A and B are shown apart, each in its own frame.
Chain A
Amino acid sequence: DVKVTQSSRYLVKRTGEKVFLECVQDMDHENMFWYRQDPGLGLRLIYFSYDVKMKEKGDIPEGYSVSREKKERFSLILESASTNQTSMYLCASWANTEAFFGQGTRLTVV
């Protein structure tokens, strides 16, 4: 089974902190994605990556950056966390016919 693992299920951070959300996949997929999910807004794409060291902005990249140093790992970085970044963050790994999601990280910024 494809596995996409996010490092934390729940995180609480303070405003202004630098936050790292980690995602690892074990199927050698080239494509990886970061989404955030908010009630009434659905899943919105933050960043995606087609290969190591490659990244593309999604629909809402402001306040975020990403890192893809190894094929299996795609990190989302909140440079200076703000309360409006409180959300559920979902990582996905892409095969030709399916996108597999991690279990999600519920981030609360206080």
Chain B
Amino acid sequence: EDQVTQSPEALRLQEGESSSLNCSYTVSGLRGLFWYRQDPGKGPEFLFTLYSAGEEKEKERLKATLTKKESFLHITAPKPEDSATYLCAVRERNTDKLIFGTGTRLQVFP
């Protein structure tokens, strides 16, 4: 069964304290792994798409990496405005569905 697991469920960081979020997946044929940011009461906002092991993408303080079994979202020197829930999703090859993890809720304190 296709599955996406994110860890940790919640993460509290001091401003400037770098860390990583994990997304591990089991899918029969990966057509892309996606990271989203979601603020409370809003729809997810697209961040990155990764397609193959070894690929990396960066945007401001965020960097996403991909291996054959997992992806990491690295947050360097986070700021309070980075506080949000970060969602990972995989696109399954045969059905084209997007399968989501349950997210990591990040809180960054000044």
Contacts and interface: CB of A to CB of B under 8 A. Distances in A.
B32 A43 contact: no
A22 B102 CA distance: 25
Contacts of B101: 42
Which secondary structure dominates where chain A touches chain B?
A: strand
Contacts of B95: 56
B53 interface: no
Interface string A70-98: 00000000000000000000101010011
A68 interface: no
Contacts, number: 50
Interface stretch (B13-21, B40-48, B63-71, B76-84): B40-48
Contacts of B36: 101
Interface in A35-65: 35, 40-45, 48, 50, 56, 58
B46 A104 contact: no
Given A43-B87, A104-B42, A106-B41, A99 B98 contact: yes
Contacts of A101: 36, 43-46
B46 A43 contact: no
A19 B101 CA distance: 28
Contacts of B45: 101
Interface of A: 4, 31, 33, 35, 40-45, 48, 50, 56, 58, 90, 92, 94, 97-104, 106
Interface of B: 32, 34, 36, 41-46, 49, 87, 89, 95-103
